[in-house]
Structure 1
Amino acid sequence: MARSHPGHLPGRLGLAALLLASAAAHADIDVRVSGLDGELLTNVNQRLGIRADAKREDLDVALVEALHRQAFEDIRVALQPYGYYNPVIDGRLQGEAPEWRARYRVDPGPRTVIDSVELRIDGEGSAELQPQREAILQRLRAGEPLRHTRYDDAKKALSSAAYARGYLDARFTRAQMRVLADENLARILLHFDTGRRYRFGAVSIEQEVLDADVVERYVTIEPGAVYDPQKLLDTQFALSDLGYFASLEILPQRESAEDGVVPIVIRTTPRARTLYNFGVGYGTDTGARIGAGAEVRRFNRRGHTGKLETRLSEVKNTARGEYRIPVGSVIGETLALAAELTTERLEDGESQKWGTELSLSRTPGDWQRKLYIGFTHEESELGSTRQRADLLTPGVALTRNELDDPIYTRRGWSLFVDVHGAVRDVLSPTSFVSSRAIVRGVLPLGERARLLGRAEYGANLVEAFGELPASQRFFAGGDQSVRGYAYQSIGPRDEQGAVIGGKFVNTYSIEVETRIWNDWGAALFYDLGGADDDPAPKLLQGIGAGLRYRAPVGSVQVDLAHPLDDRDGGSGSGVRLHLGVRVGL
């Protein structure tokens, strides 16, 4: 039994008089617990009512004494989940209004151990749940210290495992943890009945905007299959990600089940057919910019979609339209036809191009694959050289992501690889093969910081480089390259010193970012990279620091970057401001 010692208390009348005399002062109770540490101390402090109410404005002598008396029971209850049922508590309330001192010294006493465990599983699914039974018995063993959380976790694990296998009626027929406090022993009795196994019935989809077969091919629920809650979630995510529906509910009709077969009803609300957008902003690489566009979420009942957008800026102007036809049964698998018109001001020249592209996007396994063939007409001026070229370029692009959060990633990586080319006299002025790979990664550094890295390598194998249009050449510098240097300002130069681009590009970046206060943070970074006609380009370096703000759309970044290497023309000198938003990696 616990022994309680309230200690010496001033007389009620004396305390009341002092309280009245100090009515203007703010009452307070200084509460301290000794004899415990770690999770025991933490749980006691969280449970103590006298600590939670220590700064109440209505504290008086009667309330403080009542809180002190209750503290002994609070401590006992707080220790029980860890197996301590016989603590010795010495408590004293001292001081006077408006400041009291409550002191509690606690000896948790002997710890209760598990004396016996009886775990029995009956029903149709008893054999399937044997692995879970064995795992539970490894955590609840005779002689082990009693922890209530392990008992609760065992019950949850068994119920969840049964439900995940289609045993919707599974229940505990007996669930008892009997504590023999005087003997410091606990006996656990768990009897579990799985009941019958359920299966999926007919699937009914309530929607009127698409042909039934368009939606059905994304449904992973198969009538007659074992009832699997994960299949319900997979279907809900898949149909939601299609972009056709504003809301979506999957409702198992368990009350209508016959012979263990559960009908499924999917209710949907369509999204507006067209979404219009308009925006203004500023980017370091593009300068002031303005954009407008429209997204057609469905052209017809076959689920065809499209997008039209225009972006105007000081450096680059783009108009693009795309028409997409969904194929297959995986989100994002499409056949698309796109057209684009672009004008761009380069470091030492300009480029104008228009083109069209036919592509097929698929997702084999964990990879996203895009096969495409594009035709581009481009007119460019780099330094003193003017070019006019047509290109027919088939290619393939591969992407893979492993991210813990698609918006603000703390652990993960991504890889992008693109290979395309052209053949002389097949609507192209020269033969070439161009490839580029970009890998990004992030790791957490404690709870508040993360380490980000990026590496890029690109190579052109070209028959006649002088015939290669500007859009197919490699440059470095700018927001997504080597900060501290102007956009596309790094690369080989002609005799007049104008940057004309190279056959190879190689860039790296490493950044440490930490959260300082709420959603605000700071970063330090180091970049290096170069573009050249040599497979191992000379790497120019840049360093900098930045401010970060974690917004719902991603990480808003304001960076100041300084180049460490001087170049001819001095375009890499000074400090450059970079503004942008990072989404994911």
Structure 2
Amino acid sequence: MLGGGRGRAWRARLAAAGLLGGALLLPAAAQANIEVEVSGVSGAMKANAEAYLSIRDAANQKDLDQATVDRLQRQAGPELREALRPFGYYNPFIDARLEGTAPKWKAQYIIHPGPRTVWKRVDIQISGEGAADFEKELKRMHRRLQEGEGILHSDYDEAKAILSSAAYARGYLDAQYAEAELRVTPADNSAEAVLHFDTGPRYRFGEFSIEQTGERPLEDAFLRRYVKIHAGADYDPQKLLDTQFALSDLGYFQSVEMLPQREQAQDHQVPILIRTTPRKSQRYDFGIGYGTDTGVRGSVASDFRHLNDTGHSLHVETQVSHIKNTAAGEYRIPRGDKPGEMFTLNGVLGQQDYSAGLSRFYGFGAGLARTPGKWQRRYYLKYLHEDSTLGEDVTAADMLMPGLTLNRASLDDAIYARQGWSLFFDVHGAVKDAMSSVSFTQAHLIVKGAYPLWQRTRLLARYETGANLVDQFSRLPASQRFFAGGDQSVRGYDYQSIGPRDANGAVVGGNFLTTMSLELETRVYGNWGAATFYDAGGVENHVSPKLKQGIGVGLRYRAPIGSVQIDLAHPVEDNGVRLHIGVRVGL
């Protein structure tokens, strides 16, 4: 027999052990689980069936008991029947089985969908002022809802939405379904679709007004040039969006709201209020970056908006880098009725380093940018004085150059394009003794494209060609000669290191340029990706230059500003590997 003190100690130890054992057993008892298995159907039907099952949602609850599981099992049959109805199966047979006891169960549901319900009758009627305007939509609805075919609730819903969307887009703002029913008779697996649609009257645009806030509003007549709606025209929501985008793209407004005044409509004409919030009249940008071609680079830019009430603006910018320093300004006068159409007066002062020498230049000019159709055109006249030294070629050139630039792009994303293309073309020239010291004509073409191969992979392609027609190449300054090599040309070669050389081996540029590139880029994890590429290019003084080739691999990071690229490139004709760092925006 234990003594009182020792007995109490042992009893305390036993009690502690019991508590510890209970504590260890409690989590194990709480780990209830239900294994749920659905068979007999697949794809979207199986996914929907699983989504409807309450027992599946509760499968890992810690406080499950037998009564709760039995209740969930009883709910499973009605839930599965409900899940199959959107696919047209109203009379399924469900073999439901529940095995096991607390805390482990296994629930099995073998589904036999049974016969599919088919459309017995499809009754679509359109009445009202616009009844004759929806023949195309009526055919689309009948293609979705065909008598004798199996029903899908989604087809019914989508067919129903066709008329509603089309009516709103065409200005039938009161359009509605007088009757819209999906009638199912499970006894004989048949269904009827009854869709009776009343278009109501067609609305038109009324007068519009532009509301501006701020101390320096723009002239109302100036802004009205960019408004795409006209009083009396059929009401078209797309025209409202077009106007909103156009006014936003002008760059004067922080926000643009299109507010149809439906409650003020008279004779079915809807007044439109356009409410704008101005941006700050001045903007300053500072930038710093690095590229293998340019080294460290920086920029300071300023935009002065609202110089007057007709939208004149001024843009000035200074750029500094290891190879090029410039200061430029452009005075912009809006023209036409599209954003970006303008008359410009500009000037530039700067210098650029080449591997074989240096160029200093200044110039001024005027341009007219227009956008007829999908092409952006810029007509310009530019005077440029340039003193350049490339090897043994020393030139002091004056050039008065008329020219034309064409741009067009079709991209699914302006920053990171997976699919699309872009084209740039420029032609300009000068005539000796017409305020010019040299006669020449230059044409330059760049075509780029992107094509998605798989969900995470895209193929990028680029082709560039250029040509000079000039009598005395030695009188042509550096800026008008062609070079190749570098981050945006033939990787594996130094910037502007490809081209004809003089007797001392200095690269002095040439008259004919050809470069091309193919790149396969794959996103690997998150915003990180990898690429492999092949580049080729050459510059000569004859039409078909010999092409130097570069191959390599690269690391990619998708950033808000574009695709950051770090490439290792090997020149096929030479030894070694060259590092290229840069940013690609768009293509």
For normalisation by structure 1, the TM-score amounts to 0.93
Give CA-to-partner distance per residue, 1:559-582, whole Å, 9 cap, x none: 22111113xxxxxx4222222222
Secondary structure, in 3 states, of the residue corresponding to 1:471?
helix
Q: Tell me whether 1:544 sits opposite 2:552 in the alignment.
A: yes
Give CA-to-partner distance per residue, 1:429-470, whole Å, 9 cap, x none: 221100011101111112111111000010000010000000
Q: Give how far 1:342 is off.
A: 2.0
1:124 counterpart residue number: 129
Secondary structure, in 3 states, of the residue corresponding to 1:168?
coil
Secondary structure, in 3 states, of the residue corresponding to 2:266?
coil
Structure 1 distance, partners of 2:38, 2:478, is 73
2:500 counterpart residue number: 492
Structure 1 distance, partners of 2:460, 2:569, is 17
Structure 2 distance, partners of 1:574, 1:110, is 70
Structure 2 distance, partners of 1:445, 1:162, is 38
Structure 2 distance, partners of 1:444, 1:383, is 45
2:3 counterpart residue number: none
Structure 2 distance, partners of 1:330, 1:512, is 37
Please tell me whether the aligned partners of residues 298 and 306 of structure 1 are also in contact (alpha carbons under 8 angstroms).
no
Structural mapping, 1:110-509, within 5 Å? 110-208=115-213, 209-509=217-517
Unaligned runs of 5+ in 2: 1-21
Which residue identity does 1:329 align to in structure 2?
Answer: D
Q: Give how far 1:391 is off.
A: 1.1
Structure 1 distance, partners of 2:225, 2:110, is 66
Structure 1 distance, partners of 2:178, 2:207, is 32
Q: Give how far 1:102 is off.
A: 2.1
- Aligned partner of 1:574 among 576, 581, 584: 576
1:78 counterpart residue number: 83
Q: Give how far 1:96 is off.
A: 4.2
The structure having more radius of gyration, on CA atoms, is 2
> Over aligned residues, Cα RMSD in angstroms?
1.7
Rate the CA distance shift 1:25–1:556 in 2: closer, same or farther, 3 A. farther
Please tell me whether the aligned partners of residues 22 and 98 of structure 1 are also in contact (alpha carbons under 8 angstroms).
no
Structure 2 distance, partners of 1:380, 1:460, is 18
Please tell me whether the aligned partners of residues 22 and 97 of structure 1 are also in contact (alpha carbons under 8 angstroms).
no
Greater fraction helix: 2
Give CA-to-partner distance per residue, 1:169-225, whole Å, 9 cap, x none: 000011011111111100111111011111110101001520001110000010011
Q: % of aligned pairs identical?
A: 57
Structure 2 distance, partners of 1:216, 1:108, is 61
Q: Give how far 1:315 is off.
A: 1.4
Structure 1 distance, partners of 2:175, 2:130, is 9
Greater Cα offset, 514-523 or 460-469:
514-523
The total of aligned residue pairs comes to 562
Unaligned runs of 5+ in 1: 1-16, 567-572
Q: Give how far 1:60 is off.
A: 4.1
Q: Tell me whether 1:525 sits opposite 2:533 in the alignment.
A: yes
2:16 counterpart residue number: none
Q: Tell me whether 1:55 sits opposite 2:60 in the alignment.
A: yes
Structure 2 distance, partners of 1:320, 1:98, is 77
1:14 counterpart residue number: none
Rate the CA distance shift 1:99–1:462 in 2: closer, same or farther, 3 A. farther
Structure 2 distance, partners of 1:547, 1:62, is 58
Please tell me whether the aligned partners of residues 438 and 457 of structure 1 are also in contact (alpha carbons under 8 angstroms).
yes
2:14 counterpart residue number: none
Secondary structure, in 3 states, of the residue corresponding to 1:565?
coil
Structure 2 distance, partners of 1:39, 1:543, is 45
Structure 2 distance, partners of 1:277, 1:511, is 33
Rate the CA distance shift 1:77–1:553 in 2: closer, same or farther, 3 A. farther
Structure 2 distance, partners of 1:279, 1:429, is 37
For normalisation by structure 2, the TM-score amounts to 0.93
